[in-house]
Structures are given as structure tokens and as C-alpha cells.
Chains A and B, each alone.
Chain A
């Protein structure tokens, strides 16, 4: 049977060594009325047949070529250097677990320490943790930090936080017992945090420094949800004084993969370090003075503090954090800047070309954006269907979340959408009207 290792003779030998006559004897603690005769599942398959079934399912999905994907909304097609896959494929990384034993885990620990530094550098904040599940849960964890830190029970969310992040935040808030308010005028003495996304869900830039000031005027924390690639160009949260930065790291070398597994990150001011959720890796020394790395400040965590822990997170997204580290180290500061700039320029070119089409206009022509933006267009549904037939994954329709934008979609560009792809999109869109 696949992946099992014993011969029948070895099983008998082991049973005899244990002093049992049968497996039934070993399982005698299980009440007989609970014993199953068989699982209601098909019998196992050969690897050949397993993979044939898996391939059948994969083939039922439509795969859009990267360069013809103009849909973002939190997940973006980007160039992933081969180095990322090469490192992730190393079984020394992917078949290890949480580095509880530092002497046997320096690879994972050092890579995580490097990841923490990369995120701290990008966000301009003092400390970052080892990873969270995704951008949405990272927002919720940051909100909990703020509620505990301030002792207040309300967070105010600026317009156009990713709607799914908002939904996750609400789900957490209802459980934990704090309110989520979507009205910046409501910021006041009861506010634990002001949460905003930069760029926002539509791709538009918000006045992050002003929102931070607003929070601080009322003794609340400022939580910035940021796009890590944008931070090559945009002021990082630490520069404008935000207390906590969180975000989704999928763009840092991870496949779209229908939305996961991706990467949540969180960074904060030094004073909030002990409120951080999840693993933290710190530098340490051994008996002979050699530098090593170790899980630290564990007194925040569930395995020590149980119900008093800062979070319940245990398994995190370490391998995704490793991908992000390889990606950022591959690019370096200049490469990252170039990726961000190319994406930004291409998106502005696309916006220009789109607004030349009859029946198409930018939804917020006066608002600055980076590499994603909303457009309103006539016959939106029909046009997007036309694009799909042409093998192009067009913009993301906004109507299901924003009734005021029922005739609008966001389009994004990254370095994978070359100028020819942009022209292909424009031609197909004009033809589909």
C-alpha cells in the first residue's frame, strides 16, 4: 500500500514484541459499538491512477496565461523567479516543522530572522513576526492587539478595506466582543484603532499620514494594511508613524493557487512587541559564544500562556515566508523598485488606453493610484465575458461588494502584462462592446 513501510511479517513480529495477539487487542479501549467495519470510501489507487484523476480535475479549469490576467483584487500574477521554486522544493525546508529544537533547525530559524528583517525594512517598523495565515487574518490580529493595548472596544475602518478582510475582521470582532465601525467621523475616545488599506481595495491611494494623525489625536492606534511591493515606491507605515502594519504577501513569489496558501505579515513599533501574535525568532548565543537563532518571547504564545496568550496561532505560514524572503533577496532594493515602477507605468498606460474607448471612463480620474484602478464601462458584463472568450481574464467586477460601483471593474497591471498584452486587451474590449 502506498507510503506504508512494514511487511506482514514485521507487523506480526512487532505485535508479538508488544505482547498482543492481534490489532483488535491493541484497540481494545475503543468501545465495540464504535468500531467501523470499513470506511465508506473507494479503495486506494495506484500513483498512475491517482494522478490521472488529479489531472482530470486540473484540466477542467481554465488557465489564463499570466500576461493576459488583468484581474487583481488582492491576488496578483507576477513573475516568480525560478530560484523561489528551487528553494521551496528543498525537503530540508518543506518537510521540517516549527523550529522548536534550535540545534536542529538553524536553517528555518535563520531564514525566518531574515524574513522578519525584510518585513521590518519594507514597512519601516521595528519588529515583524514570523508570519500569519493571510492578509485578512493579519488585519484581525492587529485589531485584537489594538483592543488589548488600548482597553477600548471599537475599531474604525476607512472606506474600501478589502471586503473579505472586513468580513474576517467582523467575524473576529463578534467573537471577541468589539465593534467594527465604518465611519471615519466616529473616531473618538472609544476607538482602539483606525484601520486603512494603502492602496485601498480599488487600487487608489489614501491619505495614510492624515489617517494616522486622526487615530493618534484620539489615542487610538493606526493600523496600515499595505501591499508589500508598493512599499518600494510608497511611504512605509513607519515613516508616517503608523503603529502596526499588516498585509498579504502573495505577490512575493507565491502562485495565485485559487487564493492560498498565501502569506500574512505583521510588523509593529517596538513598544508593541510583546503584544504580537505568533512566532518570533531572536538572536542568541551558545555556550561557546557562537551566534544562533531561537524562538523567543514565547511567553506571549498559546503553548505557554494558554487562554491568556496574545493569539491562538500555532502552525503559521513559514514556507510562504521563505518564498517571500527568496523573492525579495533575489530582487534586492533596485529590482523591487523596478518591478513596482514597471507595474505602475503599465497600469497608467492601460488606464489611458481604456479611457480612450467609447463608453469607458475612469471611476475616480482625480485620485492617484499605483497599479490597479477602477473603471466604469457600458455593457460591463458582456465585455468581460467577451474577454474571457478571447483568453483574457479582465477586470474584477465590483458590484457584488459595492452597489455604487455596479458598472465598474478594477483592472491591474504588473510586470507580466507586456505592452502587446495591453493592446490585445484593448482590442478585445472594443470588439466585445
Chain B
């Protein structure tokens, strides 16, 4: 397939093109804006006709890999099928047209949906209350840490530290820091699980929380979870669950039963709301009863078949975003839970675990598997030994792209060199999984026979490997006229210099 480059909308813009037909005011004009607050120069937005506009975006769409067309085993991201019925549900005017400041009596159905979704999530993860306000997983982490912080403040305790495993996702330490906590790292042991002895040495009455993912980011179940929970609680700290990997556990076991006090969920992972090219998602947070007074305002309460917002929560941390969360995503997730039910959710998690183990088994002669035993819903392999180190994880990733398969997550978690993190999900057929393995076989053969050829892939995609180091050294972050005509942007003394911290040619984690 030939890919003609698609110009930017700004480059396709044609001066003099009339705007689309729009309503006229139809009323006498009396508005007078003060001159000094008026805009001087019109913004330079592109002018495109509607047919050109739609073709532009159709062409751009054709340059993307997506779940709808490609296997997308991007570990940690749970790229599973996004049911089309849920899209229809969220678009119903009875949801999409609601103004957030309508009176409660006029949004009873929306409130009931939020209440029922909260009940369902409580049942799935084993907590007492859930807030639906956070917009994404990281936002949920931060919300829960704020609640834990407020909880300890209410007790008059100062607990400035949050413990995070070295295998944790970057958002965990970042969320802790955004909350003013000092981040303390705990080591993973040789078996890929938290080193419990190291944990004991880090836990103290300074600890506010331990943040854990279970299964962890290596796809391994933390077998010592009950002992770890006991140790955390013994120093009076809270145990936090990063729910990015909940897809392994539905109907199998519940974070609440493991001893977790607070849990975030990524509705855009486990509960199939689409990833949207990077969002929007939703990151509800569930908590045990002792943290519930600190939930963001408002909560949704049910009384005698009526539903209402409760703003009167004196210990609440306040708001973490405007209104009530990404409501459109909540509708989709609830539709998914209804359709799946207790039986379907449990089967989904089992199938996810089965698929990961199947792929893991089939690639064990191709890639190095640093941890023995069965995995949960994903696993991490190392490309470090492929072709005796003459190719890297990045090359394997690009080879997969060349063969029409989205790459796994690479270089994450940080504790596995040349990591490839593979999460097949439950919605990919065995035939697709087999095709993935065959593609890997071909890539590893090529790596052995002609590593330079692999390093030159992809060849047939819209673009080859980009010079990311140069892009970061002289960043061009927007179109401008000077760019268009090929001139250099004027040196105004403010143009950013290369960032010394930008890792030179070191591939970066992609999750």
C-alpha cells in the first residue's frame, strides 16, 4: 500500500474560502465590547470546505493502528474490544444532552446509573464506597492519596512517605509527589515480586501508604499479599491498589479481600471504554469504610427509590475535577457490566489469563522469560538475548509493526532489560495469537540472519523510524507560516535549547 503524506490542515487551508453557512443573530445588535479587551489579530485557523475536511480526517485515520483493525498487545493498557453497543448507549440524548446543572429531579436516570455502577464496582473489587469523579487512572491514584493524606491529618498524624515498588508504573511515584509525599522505593526480589524483607525495612510510622499493582507489572500475582497487607496495617499505614491490572482478577478474587484500603480502576482498560487515541478514560476510586468520609464531593445517595447528590460531607477532600466525572464513560462501563454479568466477567478474566499463558508458552523458545511459572493476564519477556544482543526490544517492536501487529509495551517495567510487555486480552482469537507468534518467529529469524534489515524496519508504513533525539533538541510543537515556507523560525533568544536530561537514543517506556 502506498501512503501519500497528508498535509496539515493549515497547509490545505485556502484564503478566501467562505465559512460554512451559520445562523444570523436575527435580533437588534446592542453589544459593545470595550476596545482594549478586543482581539487585534484574528487567529489563524485553517479554512477547509466540509468535503475536504472529512477527507483530511479519513486520511489521517488510515495512518493509525487501532484495535478495530489490528492486534494491539500493549501490555498494562488492556487493549480489548470496545463494544459498539456501548457507543450507542452513551450517545442516547437522555444521557448526552444532560446539562450538569439540571435539577436532581430531572436527572434521576443518570443518578441511578451512577449509583448502580458504584454498587457493581463495590461488588467487583470488595470495597464499601466508590467515587466516580476521577478522569483517569493517574487521577484516581492522586485522589486516593489525597484521601489517605486527609485521613491521617484527621488523626493528627504526620506520615510523609509513600512506598512504591521499583516495578511500579511511573504514575504511582508521580501521583505521590503531586500530593507532596516523599517517594520511597521498595525492591523486587529474584522472583519478580516485592521483596518482603526490603518492604519491612522501609515500613514505619512515617509511611502513609504502600502502592501496589496486583498482579504486578510483570504479570505476576503477589503471593505474599496477605502478609504484606498485615505488615502495612501493623504500622498503621494504608494499602493502595493500582487497578490497571484488574482484568486478571474479576470473579477470581477481590483487592478488598486482600486487604487493600483504596483502589483505583481504569474503566478504559478492564471495563472496555475506548482509549480514544489517548483518552478520555475514567478512574473511579473505591475505599473501605474508614476512608469514605474523605471521598470527593458530591457522592450519589439513594433513598426510597430516589437519588440525590450529597454535598454535605464535612471531611471530604473537596473536588478533584468539575462536575461528576466522565459521565459518558460511566454509561459505557455500566452497559458493559450489565451485558457481561457475574458469569461473563469471570470468564473474561479467565480467558485473559489463559491467552497470556498460551502466548507466553509459545514464545518461550524465542524470547528470554526472566520469571518462571505461570503468569496472570500479561507477561514480560526480555529481548536482550535475541540474536546475541545484536537487536533490541525496539527493533522487535518495529518488526511487529511492519507485520501489521501493534507493538507490546517496551522498556517497561524498568527492572527488566529490553522489556517487552505482552497483554493479549480475552477478545483476541487463538488464530490471532498464533499469527502473533508466527510474526515473532519471522522477526527473530531475521534478527539472526540480517539484524541490519530488522533495524531498518518498518519499511512499508506511512513513515520510517523518526529521529526523536533531533525532534526533542529543536522542538517544533506547532505549525507556523515560517515553517510552511521552509524558513527557519526567527531566533528570538527564547527558542528552547536541547534538554540535557533528554536521554540520547535511549528508548523510553511506552505505557
Which residues 86-128 of A have a CB within 8 angstroms of B?
86-87, 89-108, 110-114, 116-118, 120-122, 124, 126-128
**Interface flags, B110-146, vs A, CB<8A=1, else 0:** 1011000000100110000000000111110110011
- The reply to whether B170 and A134 contact each other, CB–CB distance below 8 Å, is no
Q: Which residue of B lies closest to A15 (CB)?
A: B354
> Is B19 part of the contact surface with A, judged by Cβ < 8 Å?
yes
Q: Does B189 contact A (CB under 8 A)?
A: no
Taking a contact as CB atoms under 8 Å apart, the answer to whether A298 and B508 are in contact is yes
Are the C-beta atoms of A315 and B137 separated by less than 8 Å? yes
- Is B488 an interface residue when CB atoms closer than 8 A count as contact? no
A213-221, A334-342, A356-364, A424-432: which lies at the B interface?
A334-342
* A135 and B335 alpha carbons, distance in the complex (Å): 28
Q: Find out whether the CB atom of A116 lies under 8 angstroms from the CB atom of B64.
A: no
Asked whether B6 is an interface residue with its Cβ less than 8 Å from the other chain, the reply is yes
B353–A27 touching, CB < 8 Å: yes
| Stretch touching chain A among B355-363, B380-388, B441-449 | B355-363
A residues less than 8 Å from B145 (CB atoms): 175
Are the C-beta atoms of B277 and A108 separated by less than 8 Å?
yes
Q: Is B197 an interface residue (CB 8 A)?
A: no
B33 touching A234 by the CB < 8 A rule?
Answer: yes
Q: Which residues of A contact B87 (CB under 8 A)?
A: 89
Q: Which of B43, B120, B401 contacts A41 (CB 8 A)?
A: B120
> At the interface, yes or no: A405 with Cβ under 8 Å from chain B?
no
Interface residues on A, range: 35 or more
A residues near B174, Cβ cutoff 8 Å = 302, 305-307, 309, 311-312
Complex CA gap A316/B178 in Å reads: 17
Q: How far is the CB of B165 from chain A (nearest CB, A)?
A: 12
Q: Which residues of the other chain, B, contact A280 by a CB distance below 8 angstroms?
A: 475, 477
Q: How far is the CA of A88 from the CA of B102 in the complex (A)?
A: 26
Say how far B46's CB is from chain A's closest CB, in angstroms. Answer: 5
**Is A407 close to B, CB under 8 A?**
no
Spot the interface stretch: B199-207, B230-238, B268-276, B284-292: B268-276
Proximity string of chain B (160-176) to chain A, C-beta cutoff 8 Å, 1 when within and 0 when not: 00000000011101111
- The answer, among B37, B66, B353, for a CB contact under 8 Å with A368, is B37
Cβ-defined contact, A116 with B477, below 8 A = yes
Among residues of B, the one whose C-beta sits closest to the C-beta of A39 is B342
Contact of A29 with B466 in the complex, beta carbons under 8 Å: no
Inter-subunit contact A103/B178 (CB<8 Å)? no
B378 within 8 A of A: no
Is residue A386 contacting chain B, with contact meaning CB distance below 8 A?
no
The answer, among A164, A270, A312, for a CB contact under 8 Å with B175, is: A312
B344 touches A1 (CB 8 A): yes
Q: Knowing A29-B220, A106-B462 touch, does A294 contact B468 (C-beta < 8 A)? A: yes
Chain B min CB distance to A428 (Å): 16
**Structural contact, A51 and B88, CB atoms closer than 8 A:** yes
A134 to B36, CA, bound (A): 29
Alpha-carbon separation in the docked complex, A230 to B257 (Å):
51
Q: Contact check, A260 vs B280: say whether CB atoms are below 8 A apart.
A: yes
| A205 nearest CB neighbor, chain B only | B37
CB pair A54 B335 closer than 8 Å: yes
- A258, B2: Cα distance in complex, Å: 43
Least CB distance from A267 to B in Å reads: 10
Mark A27-63 against chain B: 1 for CB-CB distance below 8 A, else 0: 1111101111011111111110011011111111111
B278 located at the interface, meaning its Cβ lies under 8 Å from any Cβ of chain A in the complex: yes
Q: Are A335 and B44 in contact (CB-based, < 8 A)? A: no
Min CB distance B318 to A, Å, is 4
**A287 sits at the interface (CB 8 A):** yes
Contacts of B98 in A (CB 8 A): 61, 63, 256-258
CB-CB under 8 A from B251, the residues of chain A are 36, 38-39
Residues of B near A112 (CB, < 8 A) are 278
For A11, the chain B residues whose CB sits under 8 A away are: 351, 354
Cβ-closest chain B residue relative to A13: B430
For B468, list chain A residues within 8 Å (CB): 284, 294, 296
- Given A15-B354, A260-B135, do A97 and B17 touch, yes or no (CB 8 Å)? no
State A374–B193 Cα separation when bound (angstroms): 59
- Nearest CB in chain B to that of A397: its residue: B101
Determine whether A171 belongs to the interface, using a CB cutoff of 8 Å to chain B: yes
Main secondary structure of the interface of B (DSSP, over half): loop
Known: A256-B100, A299-B499. A100 touches B23 (CB 8 A): no
Q: How far is the CA of A127 from the CA of B335 in the complex (A)?
A: 39
User: When the two chains form their complex, are residues A14 and B430 in contact, meaning their CB atoms are under 8 A apart?
Assistant: yes
Q: Do residues B68 and A271 form an inter-chain contact, with CB atoms below 8 A?
A: no
Question: Once bound together, how far apart are the Cα atoms of A110 and B412, in whole Å?
Answer: 26
Say whether A315 contacts B281, CB under 8 Å: yes
In the assembled complex, which residues on chain B have CB atoms less than 8 Å from the CB atom of A203?
Answer: none
Chain A residues with Cβ below 8 Å from B31 are 344-345, 347-348, 370
> A342 touching B177 by the CB < 8 A rule?
no
B477 touches A286 (CB 8 A): no
Contacts known (A103-B458, A106-B64); A205 close to B252, Cβ less than 8 A: no
Verify if B314 is at the interface (C-beta below 8 Å from A). no
Asked if residues A345 and B19 are in contact (CB atoms below 8 Å), the reply is no
| Chain A neighbourhood of B8, CB < 8 A | 110, 113-114, 117
Expressed in whole angstroms, the Cα–Cα distance for A285 and B499 within the complex equals 19
Contact of A103 among B10, B113, B324, B465 (CB under 8 A): B465
User: Closest CB-CB distance, A397 to chain B, in whole Å?
Assistant: 9
Does any Cβ of B come within 8 Å of A136's Cβ? yes
> Is A286 within 8 A of B465, CB to CB?
yes
Q: In chain B, residues 451-485, which have Cβ atoms closer than 8 Å to a Cβ of chain A?
A: 456, 458, 461-468, 470-472, 475-480, 483
Assuming A175-B178, A258-B323, A291-B5, is B278 touching A279 (CB within 8 A)? Answer: yes
Most buried by B among A89, A165, A282: A282
Q: Pick the contact of B346: A39, A56, A286 (CB < 8 A).
A: A39
Q: Which residues of A contact B139 (CB under 8 A)?
A: 133, 137, 312-313
Whether A334 lies near B19 (C-beta < 8 A) is: yes
Instruction: Look across to chain A and name the residue whose beta carbon is closest to the beta carbon of B249.
Output: A30
Inter-chain contact B110/A258, CB cutoff 8 Å: yes
8 Å CB interface, A273-293 against B: 273-274, 279-288, 290-292
- Which B residues between 26 and 78 are near A, CB-CB below 8 angstroms? 26-34, 36-48, 50, 53-54, 56-58, 60-70, 72, 74, 77
What 4 pairs between A and B have smallest CB-CB spacing?
A259-B323, A58-B94, A44-B341, A60-B109
Apart from A171-B317, A261-B327, A286-B467, 20 more pairs, CB < 8 Å: A1-B348, A23-B350, A30-B252, A39-B123, A39-B251, A44-B342, A51-B85, A75-B99, A94-B275, A98-B275, A99-B277, A99-B278, A102-B463, A104-B406, A261-B280, A287-B464, A296-B475, A303-B509, A328-B45, A339-B22
21 contacts between A and B (CB under 8 A): A2-B339, A3-B80, A3-B83, A3-B348, A54-B334, A57-B94, A61-B95, A64-B97, A75-B323, A108-B277, A136-B321, A164-B323, A165-B322, A174-B146, A259-B324, A270-B494, A287-B456, A292-B463, A312-B174, A314-B171, A342-B23
